[in-house]
A and B are shown apart, each in its own frame.
Chain A
Amino acid sequence: MKKEDIIKAGTVVYERPRLLTDNITHYCPGCSHGVVHRLIAEVLDEMDLAERAVGVAPVGCAVFAYNYIDVDWVEAAHGRAPAVATAMSRLNPGNVVFTYQGDGDLAAIGTAETIHAANRGENIVIIFINNAIYGMTGGQMAPTTLLGQKTATTPYGRTAALNGYPIKMSDILATLDGTCYVTRQAVHTPAAVRKAKSALKKAFANAVAKKGTSVVEIVSTCNSGWKLTPAQSNLWMAEHMFEKYPLGDLKNID
């Protein structure tokens, strides 16, 4: 039986979104990035935003995001995506600009740019992948690393005395007058994926309607950095991450 015999009109129940490119991703199997990329591609296509969406990629694991989603992209310096997006959104207000940032990019080196772009109420979407670790550079401590969590730079576990506390950026961003929607989601179960997708839809709709800054945090797994299997990672995330980073809307102004 050939592929063509199986895939016929009316038999397809699942396929790659049109906006996901053919490029093979560099992400580790089990990583949340792939699911989130897929959701963005689905949402942009379903909302008919492909021609006017522009992404800003971070430095970190998602540095090559521009290879996978078929819209215009700018690759920003580490942490500066919200500043880059500010100019792009203001100079082409008919476009919908989104950033895609990890916890190191958004919550450490880019804290100032993130807070001030959100505080200005830039009409952008900030997608924040929080996996509590630096994946690309080999599993070092992130600002969101949990107390006790072992990483390459906290080999005996993060301690408050030595490293301070895990930062809850979405909670901070929700306090700013410039944000209209701040939510924390995950993509570890089918139900969570569906919720995350509807959150992304709401965020992009806010950008289209010029309501201000929308922040979608995705609490994510990094099985390579955590040194767990993908299945174990999902369990570890639910058991440990959600306690510090509970899922749900932190702010939603209609």
Chain B
Amino acid sequence: MKGNEAIAHAAIRYGVDAYFGYPITPQSEILETLEAEMPWETTGMVVLQAESEVAAINMVYGGAASGKAVMTSSSSPGVSLKQEGISYIAASELPALIINVMRGGPGLGTIQPSQADYFQATKGGGHGDYHLIVLAPATVQEMADFVGLGFDLAFKYRNPAMILADGIVGQMMEKVVLPPFRPRRTDEEIALQCPWATTGRHGRGHRNVVTSLELESHKMEENNIRFQETYDLITRNEVRYKESHTDDAEYLIVAFGSVARICLKAIEEAREAGIKIGLLRPITLWPFPTERIAELSHQVKGILVVELNAGQMIEDVRLAVEGRVPVRHFGRMGGIVPNPTEVIEAFNQNFREK
């Protein structure tokens, strides 16, 4: 099935309480699949087509405030509209899952694949000092798996998570093993897991308030310090990446999402010609695998960062490398996806033909 469809099926099976979305290419299959599956008849999951992305993310805010496992999905222009709500969700320390199946921008751009929302996803996007936990799937299997992983991390840290997929992995069809069905949490389980949730007092003895507002500066700074402590904890515990051929690598390619698969093919072809390149694919874009890239920068002679953008993740790679070796970029934009030959040519131009 398509990556987008896998997300919908995985959400039902994970026991997600609600999905709120608004149609936009190339991810409308998520909402369409959920509407066709009618999970409200089986698991009781709420599915609602909102009047806008703005409304959808604020529905997520209300659902998350209630302690429910709530998600939304969109594509780049729609995710821009959601940024205010995402900032509120992060500031209110609420768990939620947001999916961005990226298309080319800026502006209305194109419906073809892109990775140009890396900055938006990893550096904040909305206003204020906050971070999302950002997962970058490279396969349809990971599209399915990261729904559960995203919610698990979001609830563990009370922080919103994002699946940052490119349009390729959203539209691509592959075999996928869906997670087993598990029931949605009961009201009692939610009350235990989320004692802060605005579920109605129901004998709790005090009121719960979910707000991001704090006009007393010293208290607002305390809130910010608490957020930063959470981000430090996530950074220590949750960095995920996958390496291929790095044991003997003399050069390194860093790429995320489906582009990493193209690069792996290029690396295998290069190795047949005797050029030892390794691949590091960040799975969490935030927190970023800074330490591992720093280690590898002591081993390799140069690093090529391949992205479907003008050069975004390369900034984090350069911060990790701290100038030890040259870090170069190869990117295509506007919805164009490079083939392995182009990746090798870019590598040769940067590191071989001197």
A interface residue numbers (CB < 8 A to B): 50-54, 56-57, 63-64, 66, 70-77, 80, 83-88, 90-92, 94-95, 112-113, 116
Residue of A86, A91, A113 with most chain B CB atoms under a 10 A cut-off: A91
A56 CB contacts on chain B under 8 angstroms: 62
Are A83's CB and B58's CB within 8 A? yes
What 9 A-B pairs have minimum CB-CB distances, sorted nearest first?
A: A75-B211, A84-B62, A87-B62, A80-B58, A83-B58, A116-B51, A87-B59, A87-B63, A72-B198
Contact between A63 and B54, CB atoms less than 8 A apart: no
Which B residues have a C-beta under 8 Å from some C-beta of A? 17-18, 20, 46, 48, 50-52, 54-56, 58-63, 65-66, 68, 70, 84-85, 88, 198-203, 207-213
Q: Is the CB of B201 within 8 A of A72?
A: yes
10 extra interface residue pairs, beta carbon distance < 8 Å, beyond A73-B207, A83-B55, A87-B62: A56-B62, A72-B207, A73-B208, A74-B65, A84-B61, A84-B65, A85-B62, A88-B66, A91-B63, A112-B51
Cα A86 to Cα B60 with chains together (Å): 10
> Are B210 and A116 closer than 8 Å at their CB atoms?
no
Q: Which of B51, B68, B202, B203 interacts with A113 by CB under 8 Å?
A: B51
Contacts of B202 in A (CB 8 A): 51-52
Measured in the bound complex, the distance between the Cα atoms of B61 and A210 in whole Å is 23
Contact A72 B199 (CB under 8 A): yes
Q: Specify which chain A residues have a CB less than 8 angstroms from the CB of B88 in the assembled complex.
A: 77
Whether A112 contacts B55 in the complex (CB less than 8 A), given A63-B213, A72-B208, A92-B200, comes out as yes
Is the pair B55, A80 in contact by a Cβ cutoff of 8 Å?
yes
CB pair B198 A73 closer than 8 Å: yes
18 contacts between A and B (CB under 8 A): A51-B203, A54-B199, A71-B200, A72-B201, A73-B198, A73-B208, A75-B209, A75-B213, A76-B58, A80-B55, A83-B55, A84-B62, A87-B20, A87-B48, A88-B62, A90-B48, A91-B70, A92-B200
The complex places the Cα of A72 from the Cα of B17 at a distance, in Å, of 20
A74→B51 contact, CB < 8 A: no
Q: Give Cα A137–Cα B117 distance, bound, in whole angstroms.
A: 34
Contacts across chains A and B counted by CB atoms under 8 Å:
123
| Partner pick for B50 among A52, A53, A70, A83, CB 8 A cutoff | A83
Closest chain-A Cβ to B71's Cβ sits at a distance in Å of 11
Q: In whole angstroms, what is the CA distance A83 to B146 when docked?
A: 27
| A66 to B46 Cα, complex, angstroms | 27
Residues of B within 8 A of A90 (CB): 18, 46, 48
**Complex-state Cα separation, A63 to B212, whole angstroms:** 11
Taking the closest CB of chain A, its distance from the CB of B9, in whole angstroms, is 21
B209 touches A72 (CB 8 A): yes
Interchain CB contact under 8 A, B58 and A73: no
Cβ–Cβ contact B58 & A95, under 8 A: no
Smallest Cβ distance from A76 to chain B, in angstroms?
7
Expressed in whole angstroms, the minimum distance between the Cβ of B1 and any Cβ of chain A is 28
Chain A residues within an 8 Å CB radius of B51: 112-113, 116
Given A80-B55, A86-B59, A87-B63: A66 and B211 within 8 A (CB)?
yes
For B199, list chain A residues within 8 Å (CB): 54, 72, 92, 95
Interface centre among B60, B63, B200, B201 (most CB of A within 10 A): B200
Residues of the A chain whose Cβ atoms lie less than 8 Å from the Cβ of B201? 50-52, 71-72
Shortest Cβ distance from B51 into A: residue: A116
Q: How many Å lie between the Cα of A72 and that of B207 in the bound state?
A: 5
Do B68 and A91 touch across chains, with their CB atoms under 8 A apart?
yes
Nearest opposing residue in chain B for A56, CB measure: B62
Q: How long is the Cα–Cα vector from A6 to B85 in the complex, in angstroms? A: 51
Judge whether B55 and A113 touch: CB under 8 Å: yes
Task: Tell me the minimal C-beta distance from A156 to chain B in angstroms.
Answer: 33
Pick the residue among B18, B66, B212 that contacts A75 (CB under 8 A): B212
> A66 near B209 (CB under 8 angstroms)?
yes
Contacts of B65 in A (CB 8 A): 74, 84, 88
Chain B nearest Cβ from A141, distance in angstroms: 23
A100 to chain B, nearest CB (A): 14
A88 touches B63 (CB 8 A): yes
- Provide the bound-state CA to CA distance between A51 and B198, in Å: 11
Q: Which of A66, A90, A116 has the most C-beta atoms of chain B within 10 angstroms of its own C-beta?
A: A90
Taking a contact as CB atoms under 8 Å apart, the answer to whether B58 and A54 are in contact is: no
Chain B residue numbers with a CB within 8 Å of A63 are: 213
Least CB distance, B219 to chain A, in whole angstroms = 14
Bound Cα distance A18, B340 (Å): 70
Contact indicator A77/B200 (Cβ below 8 Å): no
